[in-house]
């Protein structure tokens, strides 16, 4: 289960990672009804950007985008961009500006803005790889989430959020090795015969071994009544057992010869 990603210094080509296609940012509108920014002046407005990745901004009408406020909440970054509103000579129609939204390793997105005084605009910026990674993480699917976070790490090795999530995925995956397990044991008997054996837990193969070496097969603890099938090759008969894993966690097998010199496998009683 252990899968540790070595956090190295340097950058991996995004083209090599994703082929010829540069990963995109998805931008959509957000409802800003009822939102008030008290610091806004008479001929100003705010574009509030909510994003699941860190962003940078450039504007065709402003020498520098005024990021008045920024903060992080629940894995999202919020940017309050304060803009002056410029009007055409008719004093009614506003001038349109282009806002370039970029994040390291992703294609730049250009958003057209026709701003009006004190009419706030909300934008939602999503990178699907991070969205999928976060959803898998919250669902407890740490091995799958790790693969997605690794993609983000290769794009930007300095992304602290991603590095922390990678470390946490590894911690959670390592914890799984300490979870309670069911244990099935056969010590083995050295004989000229050496048939193979497979164990099925409710029709799912959980491991295999052989007659001479035996086996010690572990699987996750699923409490309740189950069927265990021990399937031998050769002359040892296969057999099914009804087991109760709520009452017992370790199950030991043995073999003995019948009147015809053939081995019979049976489950030892506790």
Instruction: Give the domain CATH number at 256.
Output: 2.60.40
Domain with 76 in it: 24-126
CA distance 164 to 156: 13
Q: Is residue 66 part of a domain?
A: yes
In the numeric block, the tokens 């289960």 are attached to 1
Q: Which of 43-52, 150-159, 220-229 has the highest mean pLDDT?
A: 43-52
Q: Is the pLDDT of residue 54 over 80?
A: yes
Does residue 29 share a domain with residue 113?
Answer: yes
Cite the DSSP H helix spans in 19-141: 128-138
Q: What percent of the chain has pLDDT over 90?
A: 49
Q: Which tens digits make up the pLDDT trace of 213-243?
A: 888 888 888 889 999 999 999 889 999 999 9
The residue ranges of DSSP E strands in the chain, in sequence order, are: 26-30, 44-51, 56-59, 66-73, 76-84, 97-102, 109-113, 121-126, 181-186, 196-201, 204-210, 215-220, 225-232, 239-244, 250-257, 263-267
For 263, residues 6+ apart whose C-beta sits below 8 A from its C-beta are 189, 191, 193, 211, 235, 236, 255, 256, 257
Total structural domains in the chain? Answer: 2
Does residue 99 share a domain with residue 29?
Answer: yes
CA distance 37 to 66: 14
CATH number, domain with residue 83: 2.60.40.3070
Q: Is residue 2 part of a domain?
A: no
Length of the chain: 270
Q: Is residue 104 part of a domain?
A: yes
Q: Which residue has the higher pLDDT, 25 or 4?
A: 25
CA distance 141 to 134: 10
Q: Is residue 256 part of a domain?
A: yes
Domain final residue, candidates 91, 126, 161: 126
Q: Is residue 254 part of a domain?
A: yes
Q: Is residue 13 part of a domain?
A: no
Least confident interval from 43-52, 86-95, 170-179, 224-233:
170-179
Does residue 193 share a domain with residue 118?
Answer: no
Q: Is residue 154 part of a domain?
A: no
Q: What is the pLDDT of residue 154?
A: 83
Q: What percent of the chain has pLDDT over 70?
A: 89
Least confident interval from 9-13, 60-64, 135-139, 260-264:
9-13
Q: Which residue has the higher pLDDT, 217 or 4?
A: 217
Of 166, 143, 144, 168, residue with least CA distance to 154? 166
Q: Is the pLDDT of residue 89 over 80?
A: no
Domain final residue, candidates 101, 126, 151: 126
Q: Tell me whether residue 147 is exposed, middle or buried, using C-beta atoms within 10 angstroms of its C-beta: 0 to 12, 13 to 18, 19 or more.
A: middle
Chain mean position to CA 70: 26
pLDDT averaged over the chain? 85
Q: What is the pLDDT of residue 153?
A: 85
């Amino acid at each position: 289960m252990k899968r540790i990603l070595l956090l190295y210094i340097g950058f991996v080509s995004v083209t090599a990672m994703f082929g010829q296609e540069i990963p995109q940012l998805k931008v959509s509108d957000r409802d800003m009804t009822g939102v008030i920014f008290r610091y806004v002046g008479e001929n100003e407005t705010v574009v509030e950007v909510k994003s699941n990745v860190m962003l940078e901004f450039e504007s065709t009408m402003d020498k520098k985008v005024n990021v008045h406020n920024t903060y992080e909440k629940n894995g999202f970054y919020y940017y309050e961009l304060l803009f002056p509103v410029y009007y055409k000579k008719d004093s009614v129609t506003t001038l349109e500006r282009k806002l370039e939204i970029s994040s390291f390793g992703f294609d730049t997105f250009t958003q057209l803005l026709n701003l009006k005084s004190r009419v706030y605009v909300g934008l939602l910026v999503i990178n699907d790889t991070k969205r999928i990674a976060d959803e898998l993480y919250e669902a407890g699917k740490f091995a799958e989430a790790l693969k997605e976070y690794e993609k983000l790490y290769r794009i930007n090795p300095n992304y602290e959020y991603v590095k922390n999530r990678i470390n946490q995925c590894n911690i959670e995956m390592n914890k799984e090795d300490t979870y309670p397990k069911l244990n099935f044991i056969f010590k083995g008997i050295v004989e000229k015969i050496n048939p193979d054996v497979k164990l099925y837990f409710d029709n799912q193969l959980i491991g295999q071994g052989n007659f001479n070496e035996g086996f010690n097969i572990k699987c996750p603890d699923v409490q309740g009544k189950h069927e265990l099938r021990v399937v031998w090759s050769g002359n040892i008969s296969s057999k099914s057992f009804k087991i109760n894993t709520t009452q017992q966690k370790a199950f030991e097998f043995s073999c003995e010869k019948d009147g015809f010199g053939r081995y019979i496998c049976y489950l030892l009683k506790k």
